[in-house]
């Protein structure tokens, strides 16, 4: 352990003796074992701190600032950046994990997941648009939040009304549209880049009424990909048409296109239009392997964003690991594109997925557009409002033998997407890779200079340096 981190840990032990877990303790290993991202779970922070109050979070930041220590934050635990070697892992999920409705708003603690938030809202019939899984925390909430309601309601970060933020100095600020001066700059920055500026300990979000969501799912041959690219952008903003290019038990040898059409409207005419669009995509394939319709409450009552099993059984929900459970490996990237995807790209991606080193590798198409563009690129720190798709590509392997091949495959897939790429989703930007600098430029675009100047003012000691900017 380096001298700054050793000094930081010693002082934390002195002021928060019952919250600090050291590497030799069971609580330390249990906290890491619950981190979703495999690579992050294998890192070794200097200690884990589980605060029970905003004051304790402030104490951690003050100590790190004073001693030259560094801090990462574990909220939902999905981010690869929530753990770093030799840094303090501040685990908000252990105690600061509540959510409660207040009229047409919801108040959410910094360690709560979006699933906890939606569960609290369920009796009210109101929702906040989030991503496609309930396990995400404020790293996702404050840097985007792309899901089934993005086209109709916007990003999760667009619903933020107020944020309680603990700065690297330990100062606690409350940010909103009413903020002025330097705090107005922070309010702009936390909506798109919060992890670089402080620890979100609480937030208030705007909620919306939402009835059942209609969903059509299809498993098709990949000959339908070009048709999918053509049809999806024609849909109204109440309907999103996502897809996964990958493998399924429904097709023994050939990859498939899984198409997931979700209509947020309860109007029969809107659902008919969504169904007709799905029909058009199905018509582009000579091989329809599966199709079904359903409706359910958002988000927990909707099917998973994954192909069904061999006999149409529902895919297993994504779950957080248990401590000590064997883990594979994952390498992910996510890029934004406009509505320019075409038949040439469809051919290139078909070649890529056929050459995937494992059947777990997949290319997702999260359909955006619509309300995403209702906010300007410079109105918040989030850059990429003109996008029609967010495209996460996921290289997944269990046997280390496939590691190098999976990384190469991911690089080749990014190359294929490059002519259409308009930006990078910052949630997948990680430090230490050759491409990190270019990804940061693409993720923050014209906002990057302002963000860096603001960060230098608020974190000159680099307490949050593990979050790339």
The 10s digit of each residue's pLDDT in 332-351 is 999 999 999 999 999 999 99
Span 406-433, average pLDDT: 97
**Quick one: pLDDT band at residue 326, thresholds 50, 70, 90?**
confident
pLDDT digits (tens, 9 = 90+) for 88-141: 999 999 999 999 999 999 999 999 999 999 999 999 999 999 999 999 999 999
**pLDDT higher than 60, residue 414:** yes
**Quick one: pLDDT band at residue 322, thresholds 50, 70, 90?**
confident
Q: Which two tokens stand for residue 419?
A: 């002519």
Confidence at residue 14, expressed as pLDDT on a 0 to 100 scale:
98
Span 380-397, average pLDDT: 98
CATH topology assigned to domain 213-444? Vanillyl-alcohol Oxidase; Chain A, domain 3 (3.40.462)
Q: Which two tokens stand for residue 13?
A: 């032990």
CA distance 358 to 396: 7
**pLDDT higher than 70, residue 1:** no
The HSE-up count of residue 304 (CA atoms within 13 Å, CB side) is 12
Place of tokens 């299809």: 218
CA-based nearest residue to 466, from 434, 428, 430, 425:
430
Q: What sign has the CA pseudo-torsion 166, 168, 171, 177?
A: negative
Confidence at residue 2, expressed as pLDDT on a 0 to 100 scale:
55
Confidence at residue 323, expressed as pLDDT on a 0 to 100 scale:
84
434-458 burial, b at 16+ Cβ within 10 Å, e below that, comes to eeeeebbebbbbebbeebeebbeeb
99-209+446-458 CATH:
3.30.465.10
pLDDT digits (tens, 9 = 90+) for 67-91: 999 999 999 999 999 999 999 999 9
* Whole-number percent of the chain with pLDDT over 70: 99
Confidence at residue 320, expressed as pLDDT on a 0 to 100 scale:
84
> What does pLDDT average to over the chain?
97
pLDDT digits (tens, 9 = 90+) for 141-196: 999 999 999 999 999 999 999 999 999 999 999 999 999 999 999 999 999 999 99
- Domain extents for the chain? 3-94, 99-209+446-458, 213-444
Helix residue spans in 90-224 (DSSP H): 114-121, 138-141, 150-153, 181-193
3-state secondary structure of 254: coil
3-state secondary structure of 231: helix
Distance, C-alpha 248 to centroid of its chain: 24
Confidence at residue 325, expressed as pLDDT on a 0 to 100 scale:
87
| pTM for this predicted structure | 0.97
Confidence at residue 324, expressed as pLDDT on a 0 to 100 scale:
84
Confidence at residue 286, expressed as pLDDT on a 0 to 100 scale:
95
Q: Do domains 99-209+446-458 and 213-444 have the same CATH topology?
A: no
Q: What does residue 297 show for φ and ψ, rounded to 5 degrees?
A: -75, 145
Span 18-25, average pLDDT: 97
> What are the C-alpha distances in Å from 361 to residues 77, 222, 321, 343, 402?
22, 15, 20, 22, 11
Q: What does residue 240 show for φ and ψ, rounded to 5 degrees?
A: -120, 145
Place of tokens 């108040």: 107
Taking the CA atoms of residue 317, residue 358, residue 350 and residue 393 in that order, the dihedral angle to the nearest 10 degrees is 50
3-state secondary structure of 120: helix
Question: Is 3-94 assigned to CATH 3.30.565.10?
Answer: no
**Quick one: pLDDT band at residue 467, thresholds 50, 70, 90?**
very high
CA distance 57 to 68: 16
**Quick one: pLDDT band at residue 60, thresholds 50, 70, 90?**
very high
CA distance 123 to 221: 40
Cβ contact 44:85 at 8 Å: yes
Span 244-260, average pLDDT: 97
């Amino acid at each position: 352990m380096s001298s700054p981190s050793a000094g930081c840990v010693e002082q934390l032990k002195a002021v928060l003796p019952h919250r600090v877990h050291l590497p030799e303790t069971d609580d330390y290993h249990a906290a890491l074992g619950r981190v979703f991202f495999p690579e992050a779970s294998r890192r070794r922070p200097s200690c884990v701190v589980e605060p029970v109050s905003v004051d304790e979070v402030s104490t951690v930041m003050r100590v790190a600032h004073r001693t030259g220590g560094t801090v990462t934050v574990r909220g939902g635990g999905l981010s690869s950046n929530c753990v770093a070697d030799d840094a303090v892992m501040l685990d908000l999920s252990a105690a600061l994990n509540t959510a409660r409705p207040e009229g047409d708003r919801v108040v959410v603690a910094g360690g709560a997941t979006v699933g906890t938030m939606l569960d609290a809202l369920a009796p009210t019939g109101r929702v906040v648009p989030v991503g496609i899984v309930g396990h995400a925390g404020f790293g996702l909430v404050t840097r985007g939040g792309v899901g089934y309601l993005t086209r109709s309601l916007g990003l999760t970060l667009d619903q933020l009304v107020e944020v309680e933020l603990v700065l690297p100095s330990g100062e606690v600020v409350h940010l909103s549209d009413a903020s002025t001066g330097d705090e107005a700059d922070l309010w702009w920055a936390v909506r798109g880049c919060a992890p670089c500026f402080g620890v979100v300990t609480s937030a208030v979000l705007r909620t919306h009424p939402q009835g059942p969501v209609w969903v059509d799912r299809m498993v098709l041959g990949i000959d339908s990909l070009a048709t999918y690219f053509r049809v999806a952008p024609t849909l109204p903003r109440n309907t999103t048409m996502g897809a996964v290019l990958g493998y399924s038990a429904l097709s023994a040898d050939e990859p498939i296109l899984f198409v997931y059409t979700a209509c947020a409207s309860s109007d029969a005419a809107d659902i008919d239009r969504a169904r007709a669009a799905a029909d058009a995509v199905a018509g582009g394939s000579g091989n329809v392997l599966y199709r079904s319709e359903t409706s359910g409450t958002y988000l927990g009552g909707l099917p998973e964003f994954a192909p069904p099993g061999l006999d149409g059984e529902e895919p297993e929900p994504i779950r957080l690991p248990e401590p000590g459970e064997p883990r594979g490996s994952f390498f992910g990237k996510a890029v934004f594109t406009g509505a320019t995807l075409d038949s040439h790209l469809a051919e290139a991606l078909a070649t890529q997925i056929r050459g995937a080193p494992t059947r777990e590798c997949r290319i997702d198409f999260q359909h955006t557009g619509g309300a995403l563009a209702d906010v300007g690129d410079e109105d918040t720190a989030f850059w990429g409002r003109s996008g029609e798709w967010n495209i996460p590509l996921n290289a997944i392997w269990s046997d280390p033998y496939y590691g190098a091949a999976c990384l190469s495959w991911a690089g080749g897939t990014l190359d294929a997407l490059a002519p259409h790429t308009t930006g990078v989703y910052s949630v997948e930007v990680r430090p230490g890779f050759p491409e990190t600098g270019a990804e940061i430029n693409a993720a923050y675009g014209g906002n990057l200079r302002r963000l860096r100047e603001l960060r230098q003012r608020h974190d000159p000691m680099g307490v949050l340096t593990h979050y790339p900017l």
